[in-house]
A and B are shown apart, each in its own frame.
Chain A
């Protein structure tokens, strides 16, 4: 709040302290009064076309839209007066005049603002008995977004998003009157890197996610706050699951990181990271190939193998948490003090639109991992170079399928096959895992509790949204057991306890704990941080 221009107004009899320049809808939101609205969005320009936020303001003869009315000193606003309640019903009735009875087949059901506001503010039968106007249904706008013109309430949030946020201008309003509709230019495709955000901000089922289409009713979803594992921006997400599988990501609002947005790539990254058959038992190489074994035998073999195969290289997934990285570094240096450790990190070029949100990597916790000690010198590319040169005899690779890297496949295969001992810890039998001497089944990001530190130094909390299959262990649990076998029994086991320990040992993380990190994260160095 800006102390320079404070003003006081009254909303529904409650005194509200706010600042000059704020609108009534903003001032109301600040004290927890949610004035119903469709076209208003805090990150987009004011459109004022839905009329749902009409409120009564003392001394003004007509109702005023709260989204475009400046709060003034001494203003008295009523959001629940009989006139306001009546106009909300009227606006709802207008919006439903041409709205199709699609609820039974519409993905938006359960999180639809027409449904929600109807239940909260209307509940009256529509008196419209004429023939409804028809429009295009199921029109594919792009690979991820499908449009239904009949469900659309012309709030223009989508049009404004592409004008103001991505500045790609794919959508426009065409025609006039009740033939108004939203359209792509013919033959154009909606495929900019942030396109699916309009599905999030569309209050109704006019814009829906093709990936999520018809998969599950939203009221069955369990929602877990976490962090996107796509890149080191660390967008805050809600991981939404059904029957222990991730159904979709939705963005969580964090003004310090991603505001209200998610990129398409991150939004769908869980598919590649979680699909396929899971490893549910440790494997060990014997004559003829990899065979299942017990954890005791596998971990014993790992320790013996690595000890006998120095010098060692250790590659940690960019998606490993700080807690895991902390333990991995401890473990590898216990086994061999001059292990060369790096977190997976590859850079790429980003387009202008991608740069709005994305970071040029696919390693969400590269910074945190390095700060935990998974860093020798030179970085990941240098380490790979040394592996190619055959400088190591043994390697422990966690959570990355190196053979899936775009280039150098044959070279990588040769280098890995030349190692005398290779341990792979992953969730699936990847091509890299097939070359291992020991394979350890572990977990993916959605099954972990822990923290990531994003590119800008913001420490943010992941929470487990799904349960790992029987037979797989958390990476941290594997490292703790190995440390124990190696002679370094640690006193902690839960994620919180591990974090407590790392916060103690890593100076930059002093004073942090899960409480201070909370749901919005905490900035290293105490600053406000920025996305």
Chain B
């Protein structure tokens, strides 16, 4: 079955495109919409967006591959992104990552077998004052301790 937006999402797509003075400027927001809809931006999704946006698929793929937040492969329901840049590193980011690896039983870049969590390391999230911290999907979790992390993980189905 060919990949395509639901009618609701298609309306969002049209509304998004109409905001911009030029259609091509809406590519990133449309890709984010597609990622939300399809889970990740695989080959089919990219082809679909390319058609919608009247752009060559190779070009759209080039754009997708540039940005950290656009996933070309499926990830777990909860994407744990631990900041590893200097300010967080000075406040225990590495220990935090180590704790997560141990608790979840996976390495950085991997997903738990039940598809619940994916663990990534990312660069500065503009939360240096409340380090160490992590982002899970859209939410920031700051001033972390092992206990807090355990609580947070338990709350995420």
Contacts and interface: CB of A to CB of B under 8 A. Distances in A.
Interface of A: 169-176, 183-188
B103 interface: no
Nearest to B63: A172
Contacts of B56: 169-170, 172, 185
Q: How large is the interface on B (under 10, 10 to 19, 20 to 34, 35 or more residues)?
A: 10 to 19
B43 interface: yes
B66 interface: yes
B143 to A, nearest CB: 31
Nearest to B65: A174
Contacts of B61: 172, 174, 183, 185
A36 B121 CA distance: 41
Interface string B33-68: 000000000010011000000001111011001100
A169 B65 contact: no
A172 B59 contact: yes
Given A169-B58, A185-B58, A176 B43 contact: no
A183 B61 CA distance: 9
Contacts of A188: 57-58
Contacts of B59: 169, 172
Given A172-B61, A183-B58, A186-B43, 19 more contacts: A169-B56, A169-B58, A169-B59, A170-B56, A170-B58, A171-B58, A172-B56, A172-B58, A172-B59, A172-B62, A173-B62, A174-B65, A176-B65, A176-B66, A183-B61, A185-B46, A185-B47, A185-B61, A188-B57
A186 B61 CA distance: 10
Contacts of A169: 56, 58-59
Contacts of A183: 58, 61-62
A175 B58 contact: no
Nearest to B42: A186
A492 to B, nearest CB: 56
14 contacts: A169-B56, A170-B58, A172-B56, A172-B59, A173-B62, A174-B62, A174-B66, A175-B65, A176-B65, A183-B61, A183-B62, A185-B43, A185-B46, A188-B58
A171 B66 CA distance: 15
B57 A185 contact: yes
A175 B58 CA distance: 12
Nearest to A179: B65
A183 B57 CA distance: 11
Contacts of A170: 56, 58
Contacts of B47: 185
Contacts of A173: 62
Nearest to B57: A185
- State the 5 A-B residue pairs at the shortest beta-carbon distance, nearest first: A172-B62, A169-B56, A174-B65, A172-B58, A185-B58
B149 to A, nearest CB: 29
Contacts of B62: 172-174, 183
Contacts of B57: 185, 188
A184 B58 contact: yes
Nearest to B64: A174
A186 B56 CA distance: 12
A169 B58 CA distance: 7
Contacts of A184: 58
Interface in B3-56: 43, 46-47, 56
A144 B78 CA distance: 45
A187 B59 CA distance: 15
A189 to B, nearest CB: 12
